[in-house]
Amino acid sequence: MAFVACLLLVVVAVLSVLSYQRMRTEIIEGVRHELDAAMLGNRNALGNWLAQRKDAVEATASLLVSSGDVLPQLQQGKAAGRFDQLFAGYADKRMIYQLADKHAPEGYDPTARPWYKQAAAAGGSIVTEPYLFASTKKLGVTVAYPLLRNQQLQGVVGGDISLEGIISLVQGIKLRGDGYAFLATRSGKIVAHPVADSTLKPVAEVMPGLDAALLQQATDSSQSQELEIGGRAVFLQLTPVPGSDWVLGSVVDKAAILAPLQGLLITLVVAGLLCSVLAIVLAQLALTRLLRGLVRLRDALLEISSGQADLTHQLHVEQQDEIGQTAEAFNRFVASLRRMFIDVREHALSLNSELDSLKQVTHTVSLQSERQSEVSSAAAATIEQITVSINHIADNASMAEQVASQTGATSQHSAQAVGQLADDIAHIAQEVGRLGGALNALGDRSGQMNTIIGVIRDIADQTNLLALNAAIEAARAGEAGRGFAVVADEVR
């Protein structure tokens, strides 16, 4: 059961780790998709905003080239592009604004301004680097387009526009996990950032850890990446704004994004532990029910090994599984063992009866031998007496006649004794024949005893075979069959 519990805990731990990793991957992928969507939408919005201003400046430049009436065209272009002011700077250093009463400062040379030089060099629309307007101290840019007549530069039309709306748009981008968006130039200057007073500051100063080289490498296909900014791990997404030198970026705190996973991990662990406890209880019940037959089999084998077994007892077979089949084999073994013991008892009783008969025959032979010994002693004495008498007759020939009748009687008596001796010897021969028959019967009984011993040896072999099968079943049962294995050893 301890093994099952450990296995369940390992499974729960593995599943929890896999679920955690999967949810973490899905959350990170979700964040990346969210960043991609947010960056794409706002990037396109910024690109459209710039494109509208460029179109307005380009249209104004086209009208100025084809029409000599400058002021109305500048006023119309300012309204169309929603510029703070729209102006035209000419190669002869004239400067005309959309307001008739506004004039350039004394000595102001438009051809020396960055917006004029960039547009003249590009031959098309340009957007300057963000800068602070001298009059309003607001951050803005100048959108400019060259005035070309017959491929000759006549001047440049420019429009100043504040970036307050762009800054509000960027700062208003909301991302999960307290994420934020920022706008910077590829040269590494901050245009819009949630941190106050960060305008036009270096990116590395406002966002330590963000290298300006990453801004220069940003492309439309750039993927989000993990980076450490300000000592915190974040997901960074950079995308260039079309038609400009701007880069729109988004930052999401990694710890804040993955914070819900901690609660999820705790929930998974608690749920896994509860499931493990329930599974262990169910497994305990199932194993108890499953091993109930094995326990009965073990008890029966222990009873047999103790020498007090009831060989008429049969195990109840509930199911035809391995344990049920083992119980059936045990029942067959006990029945076979019972029959063998009955046969052994019957043979032992028969052997005892034969041994009693043999004892009686041996006793009879002993008595007959004693009697024969007595008869032989009497015959020897008689023969000795006859010898003495013959010697007495030879020595006393003179007395032969006197004792003839006595000698005849004595001879007759000796003849009778010799006849009796012959009869006794014949009787002894008969008793010896009977003793030979008894010994032959004893030899036959010895053969029967050898047969009985062979039966007992077969019983021992079958007992060892059953013990081996029991040991194999105990090994298959594992920890629960250890007692069964001990019993199998005792049976062997």
pLDDT at 79: 92
pLDDT at 368: 78
Residues 164, 138: contact at Cβ < 8 Å? yes
Indicate the fold that domain 1-262 takes in CATH: Beta-Lactamase (3.30.450)
Residue recorded with tokens 């929930």:
267
How many contiguous H segments (helices) and E segments (strands) does the chain have? 10, 11
Residues 245, 129: contact at Cβ < 8 Å? yes
pLDDT at 89: 93
User: For 364-373, b where at least 16 C-beta lie within 10 A, e where not — what string?
Assistant: ebeebeeebe
Q: Give backbone dihedrals phi and psi of 63, rounded to 5 degrees, phi first.
A: -70, -35
Residues with pLDDT less than 50, the chain: none
pLDDT at 357: 79
pLDDT at 318: 65
pLDDT digits (tens, 9 = 90+) for 50-95: 999 999 999 999 998 887 688 999 999 999 999 999 999 999 999 9
Q: Using DSSP bridges, classify how beta strands 85-90 and 126-127 pair: parallel, antiparallel or unpaired.
A: unpaired
Radius of gyration, alpha carbons of the chain: 64
**Structure tokens belonging to residue 188:** 């590494």
**Structure tokens belonging to residue 165:** 């709306």
For residue 220, CA distances in Å to 34, 185, 193, 241, 484 come to 16, 15, 21, 9, 74
Q: What span, in angstroms and rounded, lies between the C-alpha atoms of 81 and 73?
A: 12
Where are the chain's structural domains? 1-262, 318-448
At 386, the amino acid letter reads I
Q: What span, in angstroms and rounded, lies between the C-alpha atoms of 363 and 369?
A: 10
pLDDT at 30: 73
State the Cα angle at 163 between 73 and 64, rounded to 5°.
Answer: 15
Q: What DSSP line would sit under 363-418, residue for residue?
A: HHHHHHHHHHHHHHHHHHHHHHHHHHHHHHHHHTGGGTTTTHHHHHHHHHHHHHHH
Comparing CA positions, the residue from 122, 234, 142, 141 lying closest to residue 183 is 141
Beta bridge pairs of residue 202? 189
pLDDT at 336: 81
Instruction: State pTM to two decimals.
Output: 0.52
Q: What span, in angstroms and rounded, lies between the C-alpha atoms of 159 and 144?
A: 6
Comparing CA positions, the residue from 441, 452, 456, 443 lying closest to residue 347 is 452
Length of the chain in residues, anyone? 492
Comparing CA positions, the residue from 27, 32, 12, 30 lying closest to residue 262 is 27
Q: Give backbone dihedrals phi and psi of 142, rounded to 5 degrees, phi first.
A: -115, 130
Strand positions, DSSP E, 241-320: 246-253
Who's near 65: CB < 8 A, 6+ residues apart?
147, 148, 149, 154
Q: What span, in angstroms and rounded, lies between the C-alpha atoms of 286 and 278?
A: 12
Residue recorded with tokens 């840019």:
141
Q: What span, in angstroms and rounded, lies between the C-alpha atoms of 445 and 355?
A: 9
